[in-house]
Amino acid sequence: MSNKNNKLPQPQIWPPSEVETIKTNSHYLRGTLEQSLNDEATGAIAADDTQLIKFHGSYQQTDRDLDDERKRQKLEPLYSFMIRARVPAGVASAKQWLALDGLADEFGNHTLKLTTRQAFQLHGVIKKNLRQTMKGINDALLDSIAACGDVNRNVMSTSNEALSPVVGELADFAKNISEHLLPKTTAYHEIWLNKKLVNGGVVDEEPIYGKTYLPRKFKIAIAVPPYNDTDVFANDIGLIAIVEDNELKGYNIAAGGGMGKTYGMPETYPRLADVIGYIPKEEALQVVEEIVKIQRDFGNRENRKLARLKYTLDRIGSDQFIELLNSRLGFKLEKTRPYQFDSNGDVFGWKKADNGNWFLGLHIEHGRVQDTSKLRLKEALREVAKLDVCDFRLTGNQGLVLGNIDSRSKLKIQELLSRYAAGQAQDLSGLRKHAVACVALNTCTMAFAEAERYLPDLVTKLEVLLEQNGLSQEDILIRMTGCPNGCGRPFLGEIGLVGRAPGRYNLYLGAGFAGDRLNTLYKEMVGEEEILQSLEPLFDQYAKDRNQNERFGDFIVRTGLVEPSQSVSVIN
């Protein structure tokens, strides 16, 4: 929708939501966190502080499996905290991997979670151990600042340097964006590290965010065609690298993506970002900052469910948004350059980069690094890290790339991983290789249904149907989340399952394999039996009637099984 008025839109005064008031009164994200952490009478923190601690990279959670029993025993819920370590572009050293592995054992639930935003999550940290855990993360030269909250989150970028010679440069730019958009408050260092910092004589100032930060979370991703492994169109800002003769020239800018919606509120919706123009790489950081500032000034601060940039862009109108951006920049975005994405999944196995180093793409089921009776994955990766011959690169699909490996070290790593049978994807079905699930139950407070704990079993049953139709090796994107907030980007799954109630999901079909088309609601409130009964004839039909090289989602749309949903729009 376009605003035909020649005047540029003006910021609106919003009656502040409760969270806006909390931020305003927080003294730059301090609130009463110190007092909450020192209160030994409860495992929880004060209600207002549960909002503020997000900016510091943590969420308060409970073990929902135990809630009813603890209530019967007249005990408070079993509170714990998730901590998210910010890792721009997902690149961590072997020493950092070992540090987080150790923190998970000492203070967490003995697992590491690799997220869909290329960050690490530690789960099960109790309040009295929060400071020690935060300090341990910082001692490893990582941090959790702005990993959550109403600020720019972890900046994503294609992490496998064997896919393109510019990946290293893109990772450096992701780090630059992340540092540039970090909150400048010294509250984090004071509360978690017991350090009093002074910024140029001013205790606190937020030149980009202002006192109330952004209206909602903000996400940025970079990808280099033909690999859309960061799902750039699901982000508030997507940067599509334009490469000529192996040299990065600039970026197509996409704006207004976001996956979340709210049941019962049709005015909320998932949305893919619009491609609004091209910029040379030297101007990219300025453009990113100005889009963030537009969201700061124009975003809805009254209703958080309508506060993401996608709603701001739709309310202003695409043309007016571009005009407003150009006016703030002092120059115009150029016309979009040609590009083509082929997939949004990970690339597995050994690949050699132009610099001669090797990169190994590993499958980590739903990003959960743990030891089980069947697979000692955490131990295997710990032993790899102890070799100190590679770095560890998280992907946007909860996977892992071991990077910068010389030929001699390649043999050592291969032998070690083979001994543990860890991370190898060659024997997995195409469906399992591309399955993504959010944490959901038992710890996520927003989940209505299972996801990570259930999807592996569902995939096993779906694999039987695929095998019957000769489709076991067909790459199909399946994504499951416990709620519609979209952390696992379910609306970009060729098969999407979104939790409605325990054991019940909305089934979506027909997304594009390259992440450039949303899926469409097919059936509501279905359980496992209905899911299998619904997909079995579709797999049969796909096996018999598909065109050559036709993807499952494209087949579903072409044959009219669902109406096509939103695809990426090129506005400029």
Three-state SS at 30: coil
- β-pairing, 79-85 vs 91-92, is unpaired
Q: Which residues are catalytic?
A: 84, 153, 217, 219, 438, 444, 483, 487
- Distance, CA of 170 to CA of 166 (rounded, Å): 6
Task: Find residue 483's DSSP bridge partners.
Answer: none
CA-nearest of 269, 239, 328, 202 to 518 is 269
Task: Return all residues near 23 (Cβ < 8 A) that are at least 6 apart.
Answer: 29, 51, 52, 150, 211, 212, 213
CA-nearest of 189, 159, 185, 147 to 55 is 147
Report the Cα 226 to chain-centroid distance in Å: 20
Residue 244 has what DSSP assignment? Answer: E
- Backbone phi, then psi, for 350, in 5-degree steps? -80, 135
Q: First vs last Cα of the chain: how many Å apart?
A: 14
CA 347-350-354 angle, to 5 degrees, is: 95
Cis preceding linkage at 442, omega within 30: yes
Task: Return all residues near 21 (Cβ < 8 A) that are at least 6 apart.
Answer: none
Report whether 100 contacts 115 (CB < 8 A): no
Helix count and strand count (H, E) for the chain: 17, 20
The number of residues making up the chain comes to 572
